[in-house]
Amino acid sequence: MLKDKKILLGITGSVAAYKSIDLIKLFKNKGAVVEVIMTASAARFISPMSISVASGSRIHTDMFEDHLAHINLPLASDLFVVAPATANIISKHASGIADDLLSSSLLAYDRKALFAPAMNWRMYQNPVWQKNLDILASLGHCFVGPERGSLACGEEGIGRMARVEHIVEAAEACMSDQDLSGQRLLVTAGPTREYIDPVRYITNRSSGKMGFALARAARRRGASVTLIKGPCSIEPPYGVELVDVDTAAQMHKAVMDRLPALTMLIMSAAVADFSPSTRYDKKIEKSELTRLDLVRTDDIVADAGSSAERPFIVGFSAETGSSVERAVKKLHDKNMDMIVFNDVSRSDIGFDCDLNEVVIIDRNGSLPLPLMSKDETAEAILDRAVELKKLSGKE
């Protein structure tokens, strides 16, 4: 998404300015070209030389070095990002002040910009500043953070600049078509654990990567997203409501409680199909456990499919082979609108890797997707879901 895109990065005077180097590197890793404007105060926190080395180009600091820079730089960029954005730059822009290169360039930029605020919590809570924030938000500008945590002054509170990974995610969202705006999506991801005792459990394989990619893509496209996740060790996406669950029963309750409010349910979790019939409160002796009796867990997607308050439903089918027959049967048996067939017998796709090659099946036919990243697969699954949802009149 950011490949060959021109990012104009404004850096203002905050301790968080040192994180700009990592931010620039992340943007560049994604294929973006980064031009930087630094304010005079930013240059007191980090040297323009260091920023120049990271960006690979000359840093713009002086309004009068090139008398048209404040017009040409914003004009040539695909997205204007201000990170860190001090209370000062946000208030200046909200008041239309243009007294240096960065504030003048912002004023000459006629699209929505992304701000990553950073300041002390007292400044953040000041109603004057909050009013200025509201002005920019009402004009459609995007914001990421700030986060709560320990601040440079030693105090705890809200005001830390968002993590650079989240700023990049927000930049991608800012540049995306918001075709899922107004949609309320629930994505499940990861495995569930079915406990024998407090120490032992049975589970299914899943890293959560496919589900997280779906949640990230949906949020980037403007949906309000809830991600219900079983135990996963990967970093969750930014800007989604996170609900942690452990067992299939907990996931079942979490999904069913939210079902009436949803417009789409995507079940990519590898929910355990069986649970031990007895769950011991204390760790049992090895010698005492001679057999394990199992009971079936409730089928979440089937229960959602038969609900009167049924949203558009996308399920997954993890199979060890290339035949899609079982996936087609699940689509009908569980009353889904669409199912994603995933051959998990291959080591290069499916479980715990960054690539996938799936077949999307619906009631009219199937659509094989090429081998691609899980992020790209997620986009293609959402594209098809949006298309089918429109056709089915469930818009």
Q: How many residues does the chain have?
A: 395
Give kind and range of the element (H or E) at residue 201. Answer: strand 201-203
CB of 377 to ligand PMT, least distance (A): 9
Give the nearer residue to ligand PMT in terms of CB position, either 37 or 271: 271
Quote the tokens at residue 214: 């779906």
Give the nearer residue to ligand PMT in terms of CB position, either 20 or 297: 297
CB of 358 to ligand PMT, least distance (A): 7
From CA 143, how far away is CA 161, in angstroms rounded? 11
Give the nearer residue to ligand PMT in terms of CB position, either 89 or 270: 270
Q: What residue ranges bind ligand PMT (CB under 6 A)?
A: 206-210, 248, 267-271, 273, 297, 299-301, 315-318, 330, 342, 344, 350-352
Quote the tokens at residue 292: 């394990």
**Nearest by Cα to 318 from 389, 265, 267:** 267
Give the nearer residue to ligand PMT in terms of CB position, either 105 or 268: 268
Task: Report the first-to-last Cα separation within the chain, whole angstroms.
Answer: 26
Q: Is 62 left (phi over 0), alpha (psi -120 to 50) or beta?
A: beta
Quote the tokens at residue 71: 């017009």
User: Can you tell me whether residue 373 is helix, strand or coil?
Assistant: strand
From CA 106, how far away is CA 62, in angstroms rounded? 15
Give the nearer residue to ligand PMT in terms of CB position, either 78 or 357: 357
CB of 373 to ligand PMT, least distance (A): 11
Rg, Å, the chain Cα set: 24
CB of 320 to ligand PMT, least distance (A): 10
CA 65 → CA 60, 62, 262, distances in Å? 8, 5, 54
CA 145, 153, 132, 79 dihedral sign is: negative
Are 300 and 267 in contact, with CB atoms under 8 Å apart?
Answer: yes
Cross-sheet strand order for the sheet of 338-343: 241-244, 224-229, 184-189, 264-267, 312-319, 338-343, 358-362, 365-368
CA 10 → CA 62, 74, 103, distances in Å? 13, 11, 9
Measured in degrees and rounded to the nearest 5, phi and psi for residue 16 equal -65, -5
CB of 323 to ligand PMT, least distance (A): 13
Give the nearer residue to ligand PMT in terms of CB position, either 69 or 344: 344
Q: Is 232 one of the catalytic residues?
A: no
CB of 185 to ligand PMT, least distance (A): 15
CB of 196 to ligand PMT, least distance (A): 18
User: Can you tell me whether residue 38 is helix, strand or coil?
Assistant: strand
Considering the candidates 153, 174, 232, 353, report the single residue annotated as catalytic. 153
Give the nearer residue to ligand PMT in terms of CB position, either 165 or 273: 273
The residues annotated as belonging to the active site are 153
